[in-house]
Amino acid sequence: MVHSTSRTWLAAAAALALASPLSAQSRVYGSAEHSFRVVTVAEGFEHPWAIGFLPDGDILVTERPGRLRIIRNGRLLAAPVEGVPAVFAVGQGGLLDVVPHPDFASNRLVYLTYSKPLGGQESTTAVIRGRLDNDRLTNVEEIFEAQSRGRGHYGSRLAFDGRGYLFVSVGERMAAPSLLEAHPAQDFSNHHGTVNRLFEDGRVPPDNPFVGREGYRPEIWSKGHRNPQSLAIHPVTGQLFEAEHGPQGGDELNLIEPGKNYGWPVIGFGVNYGSGSRIHEGTARDGMEQPLHVWVPSIATSGMMIYGGDAFPGWKGSIFVGGMAGEQLARIELDDSGYALEETLLKGIGRVRDVREGPDGFIYLAIDEQGTGLTPIVRLEPVAR
Amino acid sequence: MVHSTSRTWLAAAAALALASPLSAQSRVYGSAEHSFRVVTVAEGFEHPWAIGFLPDGDILVTERPGRLRIIRNGRLLAAPVEGVPAVFAVGQGGLLDVVPHPDFASNRLVYLTYSKPLGGQESTTAVIRGRLDNDRLTNVEEIFEAQSRGRGHYGSRLAFDGRGYLFVSVGERMAAPSLLEAHPAQDFSNHHGTVNRLFEDGRVPPDNPFVGREGYRPEIWSKGHRNPQSLAIHPVTGQLFEAEHGPQGGDELNLIEPGKNYGWPVIGFGVNYGSGSRIHEGTARDGMEQPLHVWVPSIATSGMMIYGGDAFPGWKGSIFVGGMAGEQLARIELDDSGYALEETLLKGIGRVRDVREGPDGFIYLAIDEQGTGLTPIVRLEPVAR
């Protein structure tokens, strides 16, 4: 957000060098509550997008070009999982989120989101589930296909609330923000810019806020989002949090409540990339929700996890959000007025696409460092101090 | 920035208790680069506003009601400095910043900003300097009186650049933001919402950007600020940074360049306190500058220092900004694209009104915890780890 004349001057001002953390993995990182190391779990991925943990210790990783990979006993298996649907692997499209069902141990169900090819250059966000047996996905069934058209910005994340519901986020598909109220993210008859709530088999819960209302998609739980690449349930309170990848200066952290409109593109904090030109009518309007926190400048949010483990007790309840352009892991604490503080961890680690809590309580990151090929899954392990 | 229905729910969500750091001063705080303790330097102040260091070891502290105090050999002297001008001690008004001249050792000059009574309920921001001898201020002369009227929002900070110039910030005096282009902060014929550049004796440097231009005050260096309670020169590059206390969701960190317009109230990121209603036409406009960083939600910025000492080598070049409502110390790193990261230190410490680097390289804070009477000067001291 610096105009060009300042940029050179600022370059000279950067008195400290922000060295790449991954270049020295044995180093110990300090932070307010914990010291930790960053340890490589596996590497050699192509655009890793999401991480899922199975109860037998296997770790699933989606690769955006369309592969579902398995890390087993610390090794990345060469063969991807068979049975994954064909994806529209163009631009931001491809195989996206992966989340095992909370009762995977008994039902072996894995859920995936992806950009589904619709013919020609058309694609949409869809959710399938399948049974994972012998490293093959079988009985694949589509449980949701978003009513959306456009380029990129698919969302898409999944979150089970453990009470029988599944939340699915869908991006605004890059429709022109200048449409304002006429933007599809403000039109409830489609799924552009939504969080949706389904039963785990894809049926629509009858108590969803817009069920039975003409001109409203019944799956919609909230509307008016840009590109929600982050979705997580609080492990204690059950609250649903979302972060959305905004325009320049407009990444948001939101508390999601049913039936609410989060305002894209009518209100927001961002400007257009490059030109810095105006997008929104303002930052607030009656009937549209305010974010809990905004990143100005943007970090390019992707992935989110609310920590509930024991390996980092001082981080219980903290919201972790990955930053791609920001090359960082953001830790946010809440207090009774909402947002309390932000701590930037691992600045310079690379493009953090996903962040998940492992069953061991360690914090796993998917890094997608385009260009360098440095695309590992790493994890944070605590170091006593 | 949470609507009321969420607030209660969020209260339940605050899984971690943010205990007051001052209740346990022997504790060691962790952070990314350094561990440190917070040690009380002196206490018993009434609304401490600013801290200044003299070469003989004395520490000056302004108290907003109108007193200039001295900490000598670790003790707060009972008698305030005599000779300080009468102040308009109403609301936010009073005795504000204090900065000794860079050559104090030879000239014994101390500079003060204050809200100057103009009769009735009128007041403005003014700067005096005087010679400090035997704990008395003598030869007091006014070197700047802002052309401004209104309530509160005086600014006001001072920064010497060490090359013969003195910068002075003035607030927008709470003129109605709905005035937009007609707001006095957009009118260059007054000092509302300005950073000004003077010679150290108050004369106007002939190369100031608006010298000789009709309808422009010649002292003006930059315009369009809200309430700039933070001003600091980078110790290595000489760049001038400013932070301004914004509306709800609109605190800004700016790199100040001569002749630039920073946009208040035409553009900005905030909304009105309480109502959450719209203020700005948007967040960007040609001819108006973008901030390096915005705090959403606001922390209520006051005080700023760019670290150049040796006690905390990992913090060299970091920008430290106090947060009053945020009750925190923000540490910001820059890189060659501008803002790099923020780290929240000392969350819950109380209302941080000022932050300064001491000659010992320790970091001094003035805390103004209204209500509790907990208003110490404290300092951060490094702890090896």
pLDDT tens-digit readout, A161-190 = 999 999 999 999 999 999 999 999 999 999
pLDDT of A200 above 50 = yes
Of B30, B283, B314, the CB nearest to A271: B283
pLDDT in tens, B252-295: 999 999 999 999 999 999 888 888 888 998 899 999 999 999 99
Compute the average pLDDT of residues B10-17: 43
The two tokens of residue B138 are 């003598």
CB atoms within 10 A of CB A383: 12
Q: Which contiguous run of DSSP H or E holds residue B9?
A: helix B4-13
Q: Which contiguous run of DSSP H or E holds residue B308?
A: none
User: Nearest-CA residue of chain B relative to A279?
Assistant: B282
Residues B231/B195, Cβ–Cβ less than 8 Å: yes
Residue B298: the pLDDT is 94
Residue B277: the pLDDT is 84
How would residue B10 be classed by pLDDT, with cut points 50, 70 and 90? low
Q: Which of residues 230-259 of A touch B (CB under 8 A)?
A: 234, 236-237, 239, 249, 255, 257
Residues of chain B with Cβ-Cβ distance to A237 below 8 Å are 9, 12-13, 15
How would residue B4 be classed by pLDDT, with cut points 50, 70 and 90? very low
Task: Determine the distance from the C-alpha atom of residue B222 to the mean position of all C-alpha atoms in its chain, rounded to a whole number.
Answer: 16
B365 SS3 class: strand
Of B16, B276, B290, the CB nearest to A276: B290
Catalytic residue among A34, A47, A153, A225: A153
Separation of alpha carbons A336 and A175, rounded Å: 36
Residues of chain A with Cβ-Cβ distance to B296 below 8 Å are 269, 291, 293-294, 296
For residue B253, what are the contacts with CB-CB under 8 A and spacing of at least 6?
A: B241, B242, B243, B291, B292, B293, B294, B301, B319, B321, B332, B339
Q: Which residue has the tokens 């035409």?
A: B266
Residues B346/B29, Cβ–Cβ less than 8 Å: yes
Separation of alpha carbons B217 and A191, rounded Å: 54
How would residue B385 be classed by pLDDT, with cut points 50, 70 and 90? confident
- HSE (side-chain half, CA atoms, 13 Å) at B2: 22
Of B30, B31, B278, the CB nearest to A285: B278
Separation of alpha carbons A271 and B285, rounded Å: 10
The two tokens of residue B277 are 């209603």
How would residue B374 be classed by pLDDT, with cut points 50, 70 and 90? confident
Compute the average pLDDT of residues A379-385: 94
Separation of alpha carbons A3 and B336, rounded Å: 12
Residues of chain A with Cβ-Cβ distance to B278 below 8 Å are 281-285
Residue A95: the pLDDT is 98
Of A2, A15, A234, the CB nearest to B236: A15
Residue B282: the pLDDT is 87
Residue A327: the pLDDT is 93
Tell me whether residues B6 and A257 touch, CB distance under 8 A: yes
How would residue A208 be classed by pLDDT, with cut points 50, 70 and 90? very high
Residues of chain B with Cβ-Cβ distance to A12 below 8 Å are 237
pLDDT of B58 above 50 = yes
Residue B210 C-alpha, separation from nearest chain A C-alpha, in angstroms:
20
Tell me whether residues A34 and B29 touch, CB distance under 8 A: no
Separation of alpha carbons B88 and B172, rounded Å: 17
Tell me which of A10-14, A355-359, B143-147, B352-356 is least confident: A10-14
pLDDT of B157 above 50 = yes
Tell me whether residues B278 and A296 touch, CB distance under 8 A: no
Separation of alpha carbons B53 and B100, rounded Å: 7
Separation of alpha carbons B54 and B99, rounded Å: 9
Q: Which residue has the tokens 């006001």?
A: B156
Separation of alpha carbons B152 and B227, rounded Å: 9
Residue A259 C-alpha, separation from nearest chain B C-alpha, in angstroms:
13
How big is the A-B interface in CB pairs under 8 Å? Answer: 218
Q: Residue B384's closest CA among B282, B303, B314?
A: B314
**More confident position, B14 or A26:** A26
A27 at interface of B, judged by CB pairs closer than 8 A: no
Separation of alpha carbons B173 and B169, rounded Å: 12
Q: Which of residues 297-316 of A touch B (CB under 8 A)?
A: 297, 314, 316
How would residue B213 be classed by pLDDT, with cut points 50, 70 and 90? very high
Tell me whether residues B339 and A271 touch, CB distance under 8 A: no
Tell me whether residues A335 and B32 touch, CB distance under 8 A: no
ipTM above 0.85, yes or no: yes
Of A7, A10, A343, the CB nearest to B344: A343
Residues A62/A49, Cβ–Cβ less than 8 Å: yes
Beta strands across the sheet bearing A136-145: A95-100, A109-119, A122-133, A136-145
Compute the average pLDDT of residues B297-317: 97
Separation of alpha carbons B205 and B209, rounded Å: 9
Q: Which residue has the tokens 């910030």?
A: B169
The two tokens of residue B44 are 């018993």
Residue A12: the pLDDT is 47
CB atoms within 10 A of CB B316: 16
Residue A371: the pLDDT is 67
How would residue A5 be classed by pLDDT, with cut points 50, 70 and 90? very low
Task: Determine the distance from the C-alpha atom of residue B228 to the mean position of all C-alpha atoms in its chain, rounded to a whole number.
Answer: 6
Residues A129/A101, Cβ–Cβ less than 8 Å: yes
B274 at interface of A, judged by CB pairs closer than 8 A: no
Residues A380/A366, Cβ–Cβ less than 8 Å: no
Compute the average pLDDT of residues B171-196: 97
Separation of alpha carbons A314 and A220, rounded Å: 35
**More confident position, A249 or B251:** B251
Residues of chain B with Cβ-Cβ distance to A341 below 8 Å are 326, 328, 344, 347
How would residue B35 be classed by pLDDT, with cut points 50, 70 and 90? very high
pLDDT of B228 above 90 = yes
CA-based end-to-end distance of chain B: 38
Residue B231: the pLDDT is 98
B285 at interface of A, judged by CB pairs closer than 8 A: yes
User: Nearest-CA residue of chain A relative to B30?
Assistant: A32
Residues of chain A with Cβ-Cβ distance to B14 below 8 Å are 317, 334-336, 340
Q: Residue B228's closest CA among B146, B284, B165, B297?
A: B146
Residues of chain B with Cβ-Cβ distance to A16 below 8 Å are 314, 316-318, 333
Residue B50: the pLDDT is 98
- Active site annotation includes A153: yes
Residues of chain A with Cβ-Cβ distance to B314 below 8 Å are 16
- β-partners of residue B306 are B319
On the question of a cis peptide bond just before residue A265, with omega within 30 degrees of 0, the verdict is yes
Separation of alpha carbons B145 and B169, rounded Å: 11
B325 at interface of A, judged by CB pairs closer than 8 A: no
A178 at interface of B, judged by CB pairs closer than 8 A: no
Residues A115/A123, Cβ–Cβ less than 8 Å: yes
B284 at interface of A, judged by CB pairs closer than 8 A: yes
Residue A26: the pLDDT is 77
Separation of alpha carbons B233 and B249, rounded Å: 25
Residue B337: the pLDDT is 82
pLDDT in tens, A16-60: 334 455 544 579 999 999 999 999 999 999 999 999 999 999 999
Residues of chain B with Cβ-Cβ distance to A20 below 8 Å are none
Q: How long, in residues, is chain B?
A: 385
How would residue B19 be classed by pLDDT, with cut points 50, 70 and 90? very low
Separation of alpha carbons B309 and A76, rounded Å: 47
Task: Determine the distance from the C-alpha atom of residue A274 to the mean position of all C-alpha atoms in its chain, rounded to a whole number.
Answer: 24
Q: What is the DSSP letter of A32?
A: S
Beta strands across the sheet bearing B240-245: A227-233, A240-245, A251-256, A293-296, B293-296, B251-256, B240-245, B227-233
Interface with A, mutate which of B6, B18, B349 (most A CBs under 10 A): B6
Question: Helices H, strands E: what count in chain A?
Answer: 2, 25
How would residue A2 be classed by pLDDT, with cut points 50, 70 and 90? very low
Residue A22: the pLDDT is 54
Residue A100: the pLDDT is 98
pLDDT of A342 above 60 = yes
Residue B142 C-alpha, separation from nearest chain A C-alpha, in angstroms:
34
Separation of alpha carbons B343 and B328, rounded Å: 10
Interface with A, mutate which of B252, B283, B290 (most A CBs under 10 A): B283
Residue A137: the pLDDT is 98
pLDDT of A4 above 70 = no
Residue B22: the pLDDT is 54
Tell me whether residues A293 and B296 touch, CB distance under 8 A: yes
Residues A95/A158, Cβ–Cβ less than 8 Å: no
**More confident position, B19 or B366:** B366
Q: Residue A382's closest CA among A19, A123, A39, A5?
A: A39
Mean pLDDT value across chain B: 92
Tell me whether residues B15 and A289 touch, CB distance under 8 A: no
